[in-house]
Amino acid sequence: MLAHKKTIADYLIITSGVFGRLVISVVYFLIVANVLTLSEFGIFAAASAVGLVLSRLMAFGFISPVYRTATVRPRLLGVYVGGLIAFALASLPLILLAALLVHGLFFATRIEQGWFLAIIACEILGWRLVEYVVIQLNGLSRFGRAATLVILGSAIRTLAAIAFLLLPWRGLEAWIVFYGLANAVTLLVTFVALAPRMRVRFVWRIYPRRLRDAVTAAVSELTFYAQAELDKLLVLTLAGDRAAGLYAIAMRLIDLTAIPVRSFNQMLVQRIMKDGATMTGTRSRLLTEGIIAALSTAGMLAFITLLWVAPNTLGRNIAAVAPYLPLLLAIPALRNLVEYQGELLYARERVVTRAVLLAGLAIVKLSLMA
């Protein structure tokens, strides 16, 4: 009973952070989506999606053994963080090369190379490094501090969006400056005040046997985010900037329905790592999947109802998306169930299976969209 109470308390702490971030992120999203034009928002969303995908190459996936170590053997965390830092530095040239290639193929006529690389840097050197700290804190069961960091990062971005709204500068380039400053401040606060303190050591003999699993996890993460994010790039390429803006707004609304599911996934992964017998019954799995699908659909219905009753409540650009949302009613449940099943495979260390399934899903999804 005490174990269940602790689990519930931990879930509520994580969820408080996630819902706090949700409330703040909604304000951020509404400002940026409505101050930028639909074309500008489409370009920004597609470039951010590319940055999010490329950020999975960071450190060649070595955050995976770091998280497992923080969860199971926290006294060794400093040794694994030493490897994480080394591999992160080694991965940066590969990420830069990939970013330059993507810009040349898809963004050369839409945004200058320097501004594009600035967006990529914000996702990789900004939020991804902060996410590394959040992952470590969650592995150490310091859920309150992790929730604080999540809320703080979103709050700083929202303050940047409010400044962007109030000050006279407009356009995509101006927003990238505000966005970059927000990520820089978040990163500074993270490492000065909230990152776990440890003695970082570099012990090479430990890393090679973990690197293969890390790279496999990185490929799995890359395929997951590719199938989840690269549809924005596809729409930008095939349908144009304005359509990409409409699509990005719709997908952002759908992403908001995943907030409670991700909190649950995070708790479940840790439970399975510690106790492999968790969630092995068919009845419990089906019940969980049903709840995830119902909550996801209910969230989407709430957005559809709000925009049907009062179309301009969330701004003119979001009102333009409202007529299309009923066509997407099933998408939140399907996306969130894919994410849930992917987390189950990761927790049970079936990362190769996860990567193969997600790669197949990405190919089918992008082909049908094209």
Query: Per-residue pLDDT for the chain (370 aa), expressed as one digit of tens each?
Result: 455 566 666 666 666 656 666 778 888 999 999 999 999 999 999 999 999 999 999 999 899 899 888 888 889 899 999 999 999 999 999 999 999 999 999 999 999 999 999 999 999 988 899 999 999 998 888 888 888 888 898 899 999 999 999 999 999 999 999 999 999 999 999 999 889 988 899 888 889 888 888 898 888 888 888 888 999 999 999 999 999 999 999 998 888 888 777 777 777 777 776 666 566 678 878 888 888 899 889 989 999 999 999 888 888 899 999 999 999 999 999 998 988 888 888 878 788 898 899 889 989 998 999 9
Return all residues near 220 (Cβ < 8 A) that are at least 6 apart: 342, 346, 351, 352, 354, 355, 358
d(CA 141, CA 13): 11
- From CA 146, how far away is CA 26, in angstroms rounded? 20
Identify the three-state secondary structure at position 279: coil
Q: Which amino acid is at 330?
A: A
Find out whether 32 and 175 touch, Cβ atoms under 8 Å. Answer: yes
Q: Answer for the pair 314, 30: CB distance below 8 angstroms, yes or no.
A: yes
Using CA atoms, how far apart are residues 31 and 160, in angstroms rounded to an integer? 10
* Residue 114: count of CB within 10 angstroms of its CB: 10
Question: Encoding tokens for residue 233?
Answer: 């790039």
Nearest to 42 by CA among 243, 237, 224, 187: 243
